[in-house]
Structure 1
Amino acid sequence: MQLLKYLFHRFTNIVCINMFIYLLLCFTSQVLEVSGQCIAAPQSPEALLYTSYKQRSDEFRRLFKEVPESEKLIADYTCALQKDILLQGRIYLTENCLCFYSQVFRGTKVINMQDIISLSREKTAKWIPNAIQISTNSEKLFFSSFSAREKSYLGMFRLWQIILMDKVISFFLTFFFFASLTLFKHVST
């Protein structure tokens, strides 16, 4: 634990802090309960002791059978999706997906985090700051009625940043790999 505290204090930029938090959540079996939101990604048998995480995880698996078993539940937030009517439900965040389950019509929506092009804080009734808009190339989703909009937004935004960073890093690694192969071919000929 001392090592974790030391490493946390050594991180100075926000990307490193976000990556540190993500790795801490993914590789420890600690569960955090923050105002009704279960935030965790346990990897060990002790995780079974954390009933709230296990219940949420089981509920998530039951609702979203199409999401691969390898996806770990990281966080979930109670909210409502604005369509023709307000669809009360819950957002579930995994390592690569944002999933919404509507309690009203028992409907589900799964969005790959890499497909999200913007995530923004929004207001309902032009002045109540309790909404988040998520945009993809094909649609805009307006979620409201968050009990703690800022915490929910930051959780989603940080996970999205991490996934985008992985995408950028993968791109650059691939680019540099092929560039080095090309350079090696020119040097060796």
Structure 2
Amino acid sequence: MWWRRHPGWRWRAALLLALAALLALRVPAASELAAELRAPPQKLAAHLADFNSLRSLYPHISSSWKLESQWSNYTSWRYSLSFSCGARCAGAAHVRAHDEYAAGPAHGSAQAHRGDFTIQTCRTLPLFSWPDFCEELEVEWFVSGGKGEEEGAARYVERARSRRALGAALLAWLGGGGGLAAARAGHLRVLRETFH
């Protein structure tokens, strides 16, 4: 039999399984930023709560997505969807937004806006269903009227947290992709370019 002729196969298999489990272990990170943007607060908040805008900010999310649930009233809305992000990759997103300090039940009357979104993607190796390498990004944002001299300036504040598989974090670091702070700075740069 094969395993009798190769006595070291068990420890090698155990070592490979331990390495795979280690690479699938999730590593947390956090980032905070605040900025003034040249955008009306309502327009910026609507942009942040729109999944098509999120998709343009996260290019790994493909155009094939499915709305799983949605709910809204005059001042709040939330929705969940699933999407594909390539071969052996699937994900889900959950978005919530709320208009604060609204003068009444009418769109566009709010003076501040709050929201959050979570995007989770999981990848698997070819021919294996385990381990899966998952990444999760949670972002809470707050938009209010800015203090700039321009009419329609918005103050944008966000807190982001991520949990990423160690293997994915190492590949991003080796590839020069940077960490969460660099990714969120890139997100802010895209927002500035969108509302120039």
Give the TM-score normalised by the residue count of structure 1.
0.26
For the pair shown, which has the larger CA radius of gyration, 1 or 2?
Answer: 2
Richer in helix (by share): 1
Higher RCO (CA-CA < 8 Å; seq separation 6+): 2
Richer in strand (by share): 2
